[in-house]
Amino acid sequence: MGADRRVLGVDPGLTRCGVAVIDGSPGRKVSLRFIGVLRTDADLPLEIRLVELERGLEALVIEHAPDVVAVERVFSQHNVRTAMATAQAAAVALLVAARRGIEVAVHTPTEVKAAVTGNGRADKAQVTSMVTRVLALSEAPKPADAADAAAIAICQAWRGAAASRLEQARAQQVWQAARR
């Protein structure tokens, strides 16, 4: 068990981007610093919405100084338009972190559900219930995007260090194989 790390969890979305900042580490209680949703107006041009999202994320990074930004991995969904908007929002979060030299972690929805509930196939209600319990909140975070961002941050705090080491080892293997 190491020292607590501050994690900014991001549930990417263009209209509603869930964000949560927690402090925690594997095997330890996590504490909530901030939870909310960054919103953009669907009537605005895409480029303006992306800039607004960037400004909101940048402000959170400045205020909370996370050690790592954890983002949910975007999977192709049935609605291509929704998947594109989600991917664009995720890219903005990655860009904000990279520009400031902050470690980035990406987790699949299954990883997040398994870390928080113990079941990779848990539904949204189960995830929200566990997030509420783990963070000792008096009521469930709303909207669901905020609860999802907290779940992503918790996943990173509890599992992220080991996952990051595995990912670095895999990357090193690929790099060495490419040099041969």
Report the amino acid identity of residue 55: R
Active-site residue flag, 145? yes
Active-site residue flag, 72? yes
Active-site residue flag, 63? no
List 11, 52, 111, 148, catalytic entry: 11
Report how far residue 54's alpha carbon sits from residue 167's, in angstroms, rounded to the nearest whole number. 27
Give the max Cα distance, the chain: 56
List 23, 52, 72, 111, catalytic entry: 72
Active-site residue numbers? 11, 72, 145
